[in-house]
Chain A
């Protein structure tokens, strides 16, 4: 979830500039011919579609006991039923929906905090940089998951939004670091100096001069944060700290283990949720590599 997939700072932020329209068409040209981008994006979109539209076609709730118990996948129950007679497909579809939600919310909050801290630290420099950098390092060293476990354990009401908020609050540091180092290299460019001389506010300079010039980098950071948030949420759900009474792919895994699906051989109960998470996050990572190749001329395969 951190700096491993895809982007070891190789994106070169300075190459934008003249000829915006030509550049867009060039980006599109490479995007259409990049198999990683296409495959990754289509799998993500497919899963998103299932998560959005799937629940509309199911008229019973995901946790209702509707069918025969422990039946393998069949025409009627696409992914079989649990040992209580719950429809696994219904749980999977609703779970995907909430996975997307946690990913977007948790990743989004982490992205907001991370980029803000990174921009301010990199642009302001001096004592502000020192303090923010210290904060980043401290949060970076703390094992996020364990902090989350302790914090969430004390919560009486566990909801999806609260979970996403906590995930966002702990997983931003590496993004802040990455954005900070990119900002440092941009902050001394002439056009930034010009903007500063013309008396623009710091916030305007960050949003109108710095951010657009590293937009590809920001998009990729968000994707990585999204993937990380999904994995962390699944982990929390798995040890029983998920949203109470909700549905998620991690909760499916938890109940499968709690009711010994392994020993009973109910493979259709625990394989789909994990496969869903892996497929979603994996294709996001591959999509990310594709984006990197499209945006960064150095990495293009010719």
Chain B
């Protein structure tokens, strides 16, 4: 078990190094002078400020030092928690801006991922091998996984927001309010949160339902299911065993799907102008704020790695085979 976790940690470590290296390489090896193109497109009008910013970014990039020194300087800055200073909101450090937006993204992602996973799995298990349900859940599930996240978000915003008027369609909370621990602010926050959450939840649901349905069918073909059936075990019991076995690949699937779901969250946020990382990415793109963009990239990568690690640990805890090996039993 420790070997397993150690190997996983090794892969995550390498992934992190690769991500940082990509981050370091892209501005330096893409054609053009990164500092000049960034600042010229960022439309800074005050010449004195422009000069100061140019000097600052030239120093940060350190383009006149040898490549390997630039690379190590980049790592050193990273360990100091220094991701540079934003161009868009000039004197503010990138880390502060990102930290302000992360809670909104997490607040959308975690409930959407967890609820869609649980409910989707139940739905898929329920639908497997029952003709009527299978013929409805399966096509709907495929259509849902094929739906671009932003399109469903647009449809919901239009139907329930603009036309229906049930929910607000933009922002994380009303501009008239200041964040505070009051009931009024909380309900306002929830009403803004609901539509983005719903659209993410619905799109993600389809994939889990389909995956579970396929796995259950596969498990019901297995010897142990046939054996139980031959013994005359009730249908419910066989299904329960099949469900528990089918859960394991679904947990791995969660790790595999994370990247897609996060991308979906970013797109959904853009539609609703929700103040999370997605909207921040859009703003940094529009303002050519590459420092902010790269900071967000690192944050997302680290988040994905942590989530992957948590999923690995859950997998070990849930799967009895790895558990047995851990306590030293025969494998």
Binding site for B on A (CB under 8 A): 1-6, 8, 10, 134, 137-138, 140-147, 149-151, 153-156, 174, 227, 231-232, 234-235, 238-241, 250, 253, 256-257, 262-263, 265, 267, 270-271, 273-275, 277-282, 284-286, 289, 298-299
Contacts and interface: CB of A to CB of B under 8 A. Distances in A.
A302 B70 CA distance: 65
Interface string B238-258: 000000000001000100111
A145 to B, nearest CB: 3
A144 B262 CA distance: 10
B94 to A, nearest CB: 14
Contacts of A140: 256
20 contacts: A4-B253, A10-B218, A138-B15, A143-B301, A146-B266, A154-B27, A154-B290, A235-B148, A235-B267, A239-B270, A250-B148, A253-B154, A257-B150, A274-B150, A274-B151, A275-B151, A278-B147, A281-B146, A282-B147, A285-B142
A170 to B, nearest CB: 9
A146 B154 contact: no
B154 A138 contact: no
Contacts of A271: 155
Nearest to A249: B148
B14 interface: yes
Q: For chain A, what secondary structure do more than half of its interface residues adopt (helix, strand, loop), or is it mixed?
A: helix
Query: Which 4 residue pairs spanning A and B have beta carbons closest together?
Result: A274-B151, A145-B263, A282-B146, A281-B146
A137 to B, nearest CB: 5
A184 B2 CA distance: 26
B150 A235 contact: yes
B322 interface: no
Contact of A153 (B152, B256, B285): B285
Interface residues of B, number: 71
A231 B294 CA distance: 23
Contacts of B207: 4-5
Contacts, number: 185
B258 to A, nearest CB: 7
B301 A134 contact: no
B5 to A, nearest CB: 15
B297 A286 contact: no
A175 B39 CA distance: 40
Given A143-B263, A270-B158, 19 more contacts: A2-B253, A8-B211, A8-B214, A138-B15, A141-B15, A142-B18, A143-B258, A143-B301, A144-B259, A145-B263, A153-B290, A231-B146, A234-B148, A235-B148, A239-B266, A239-B270, A263-B162, A270-B154, A282-B147
Interface in B157-195: 157-158, 161-163, 169
A18 B210 CA distance: 34
A230 to B, nearest CB: 9
Contacts of A145: 259-260, 262-263, 266
Contact of A146 (B218, B263, B270, B308): B263
Nearest to B38: A154
Contacts of A270: 151, 154, 158
Given A134-B14, A146-B297, A282 B148 contact: no
Contacts of B257: 2, 4
A238 B154 CA distance: 12
A174 B217 CA distance: 22
Given A150-B294, A239-B270, A239-B285, A10 B146 contact: no
